Amino acid sequence: MYQNIIDILKNNNIEYQEIDHEVSESCEDSKNLRAEAGLEWLGSKNIVFHCKWNFYIVVTHADKRINAKRFKKEFWSKDIRFANQDEITAQIDGTIWCIPSFGYKNIMIPLYIDSEIFEHEYFMFNPDDPTKTIRIRSWDLNHIYTTLENPVKYFLGWEETMEIIEEDV
């Protein structure tokens, strides 16, 4: 998946910075490593949900708490849970604590993108390698989402209500 991400960045002429660091096994680890390195840009949190025999990826920033119940209306079910490592491996061949924001070979898995990401200048994510972080401009990330074959939906709001929007941000 790492090479697929690099290829997407290069094919879209996206400037990126690749940062090598110690292994991070959680969003908190990643945040601490970035802070130690002086990288205070918006970090990602990418979660795989399981609902009614389907899987979905939600992309938001590391400081947001993700509540699966917020997606029950969109997924037409109250039975929503976080996918486990075996399911993540089967669906996207990824690792639970360094799921990237894009670059999956499974082009059928829908992506739900927090539009708040695009209010920030930069966005950082692990490219399915716990020793690397990639930093890109947030609007370049938005461009990447328009080029993917995966179904992409954007959402607004989080704390009280959530609104799914279809159009590009």
Largest CA distance in the chain: 42
Percentage with pLDDT > 70 across the chain: 79
Is 56 within 8 Å of 110 (Cβ atoms)?
yes
Q: What integer pLDDT is reported at residue 13 of this predicted model?
A: 97
Residue 163 has pLDDT above 80, yes or no: no
Beta strands (DSSP E) in 52-110 are: 54-61, 80-82
- The model's pTM is 0.83
d(CA 30, CA 97): 9
For residue 136, give the nearest of 51, 20, 19, 56 by alpha carbon: 19
Q: What integer pLDDT is reported at residue 134 of this predicted model?
A: 92
Residue 24 has pLDDT above 80, yes or no: no
Residue 33: count other Cβ atoms within 10 Å of its Cβ: 19
Q: What is the CATH number of the domain that holds 58?
A: 3.90.960.10
Q: What integer pLDDT is reported at residue 85 of this predicted model?
A: 93
How many distinct structural domains can be found in the chain?
1
Residue 65 has pLDDT above 80, yes or no: no
**59 is in which domain, residue-wise?**
2-165
